[in-house]
Structure 1
Amino acid sequence: MDVLKKRILYFFVFLGVFSAAFSLGAEMEVPEEEAQIFLDEFNKLLTALQTGNFGFEIFMHNTEIALAMFIPGFGIGWGIFSAFSTGFAFAALATTAPFLAQIPPLALIFATPFGIMELAAYSIAMSRSFLLILGLFKKMPIRQQIKPLLIEIGIVVGLLLAGGIIEAYMIETFSESNGPLRIN
């Protein structure tokens, strides 16, 4: 199998891993009291993000998460933890907002442009983490891995920048038509 086909295969493997971890987190039972604490913190974070350039703040938050996913080995665990945590956040939201329980959790990722962009970015980063580990085990010179790594970091940053702008636009548009975004 040539290098490009392997790269695409690993991308889709980690797309599945991220989706599975997210789904597992979304299936967790969250007690009402714990869900309310989470929502209070979530709303504080959302308010803090909205005080500046909202799209840029979303981009920076997601980029901090994604860049750690490039770390060889650690990035895979970090990506799984991030996916599970995001799924758990959905479960907490669904506990206090029952209408969300009617929405399949993966639909939030696969049905929004920014969700697809973030999923692609995280899958690229996690799969590169895996490829870096493979390269270390195969004793590949690090120079051979630098160019693809830098290209993929650029792609991830671009995806997350566009995704952050789109997500902020959609949240702000929703907020304008439905009042301030608060989830209770």
Structure 2
Amino acid sequence: MLTIKRIILFFIFTAIFAVVYGGSAVTSEPTEEEIEEIMSFFEEIVDTIDGIGIFVHNTTIALPMFIPGFGVVWGLFSAYSTGFAYSAIAATNAEVAQLNPLAVLLTPFGLMEVGAYSIAMSRSTLLAKDVIRKNWNQIKNDKLLISIEIGAVVALLLIGGIVEMWMIETAQGMQ
């Protein structure tokens, strides 16, 4: 069962992710080389990726977030890197620069991705606590719940990837 502590931990990681991402997006000052590299990668991805590709990319980021302890560090690195990439994109696109970077997190796919990452990072914390305390029975008892959480993360990222691709295609059609 989900406890109130588990729900609070989820929202704590949602807030932490948003702060790290937003802080990185606002304070990062990518060099011209970094901007060119990120934009080149971004343009290549947009031309070749689909909703399933976005899902696969995001899933490869999210699943390591379940690793006890390391998952939190990986999740925060992901938040920082995403904010840095946003900063680079904003440096080349006046429309993006006018947006509050946190607005991206409030898109349908942004909410699903942050929700998935928050589930994984909060579980990483709980697993790390149990490993440190050598509470192997708790981990064994939580196997079903952990499996459900992994399934929820995968489902959120699948739907999020499809929605993100649809929004990209829609935006491209409006230009």
Q: TM-score range by the shorter chain?
A: over 0.9
Equivalent residue number for residue 4 of structure 2: 5
State the Cα RMSD in Å.
Answer: 1.4
Could you tell me how far apart the structure 1 residues matched to 2:160 and 2:18 are? 18
Could you tell me how far apart the structure 2 residues matched to 1:94 and 1:29 are? 11
Offset at residue 100 of structure 1 (A): 1.5
Could you tell me how far apart the structure 1 residues matched to 2:2 and 2:157 are? 25
Deviation track 1:63-105 (CA, whole Å, cap 9, x = no partner) reads 1110010011110010000010000000000111122221110
Could you tell me how far apart the structure 2 residues matched to 1:39 and 1:157 are? 27
Equivalent residue number for residue 39 of structure 2: 39
Equivalent residue number for residue 78 of structure 1: 74
Aligned: 1:132 with 2:131: no
Could you tell me how far apart the structure 1 residues matched to 2:94 and 2:31 are? 13
Could you tell me how far apart the structure 2 residues matched to 1:41 and 1:159 are? 25
The letter of the residue matching 1:5 is I
Could you tell me how far apart the structure 2 residues matched to 1:3 and 1:131 are? 13
Offset at residue 139 of structure 1 (A): 2.4
Offset at residue 149 of structure 1 (A): 0.8
Structure 2 residues not aligned, in runs of 5+: none
The verdict on how the C-alpha distance between 1:163 and 1:64 changes in structure 2, with shifts beyond 3 A counting, is same
Task: Count the aligned residue pairs.
Answer: 172
Aligned: 1:67 with 2:66: no
Could you tell me how far apart the structure 2 residues matched to 1:100 and 1:66 are? 25
- Any idea what SS the aligned residue of 1:69 has? helix
The letter of the residue matching 1:44 is E
The letter of the residue matching 2:122 is S
Return the TM-score normalized by structure 2: 0.93
Structure 1 residues not aligned, in runs of 5+: 179-184
User: Within 5 Å, which residues of 2 pair with 1:1-184?
Assistant: 4-27=3-26, 28-49=28-49, 54-110=50-106, 112-140=107-135, 141=137, 142-178=139-175
The letter of the residue matching 1:36 is E
